[in-house]
Structure 1
Amino acid sequence: MTSPNENQPVSQQGTHHWVISLELPGRAMGTRYGTFTPPAGATRQDVFLAIKNDIARQSPEMAHANVVFFALEPNQL
């Protein structure tokens, strides 16, 4: 059996995988995910704020959404 990506070029992925769920009570809720490679010396808080700020830039209505869930883990098996 071959792995699903054996014959495909490997795309560059960040060193960490993240998942965030945001809610605007009574209006909207959504979950987003992706990968991120933080700069040297960055903290978990720095990464959280970078991700939340990027979401707010892309979707201004989510700038003041409540964070229901956030996970940040090394992106390796």
Structure 2
Amino acid sequence: MTSQTSPSTTATQPASQGSHAWVLTLELPGRGMTTQYGTWTPPAGATRHDVFVALRGHIVGQHPEMASANTIFFSLEPNQL
């Protein structure tokens, strides 16, 4: 038998999350790939492109070898159901 924990006791409260959920995958063909995800509240007036550039820059800051990587996947959605 498996036990389950109520989602209300394990889920992060929405107030502590950003307004948008994102996923970004970068790949260096034949050499490596990274997928990162999270939530973020972009600054007022930011465009989808602004967010993409900022997130890509954040990942490259953590993984400098990905500076010339191809973008395989990018998703940015409002963080609500």
Identical positions, percent = 62
Query: Secondary structure of the residue that 1:5 maps to in structure 2?
Result: helix
Query: Secondary structure of the residue that 1:39 maps to in structure 2?
Result: coil
The CA RMSD measured in Å over matched residues stands at 2.1
Q: How many pairs were matched up?
A: 76
Whole-angstrom CA distance in 2 between matches of 1:42 and 1:70: 16
Structure with greater helix share of residues: 2
1:50 aligns with 2:54: yes
After TM superposition, which residue ranges in structure 1, 4 or more long, deviate above 6 angstroms?
none
Whole-angstrom CA distance in 1 between matches of 2:36 and 2:12: 25
| Equivalent position to 2:66, from 41, 51, 62 | 62
Q: Which residue of 1 aligns with 2:22?
A: 18
Q: CA deviation at 1:9?
A: 7.1
TM-score, structure 2 as length reference? 0.83
- Compared with structure 1, are the counterparts of its residues 12 and 23 closer, same or farther at alpha carbon in structure 2 (3 Å cutoff)? same
Name whichever of 2-11 and 19-28 sits farther off. 2-11
- Compared with structure 1, are the counterparts of its residues 42 and 66 closer, same or farther at alpha carbon in structure 2 (3 Å cutoff)? same
Question: Unaligned 5+ residue runs, structure 1?
Answer: none
Name whichever of 25-34 and 39-48 sits farther off. 25-34
Query: Secondary structure of the residue that 2:8 maps to in structure 1?
Result: coil
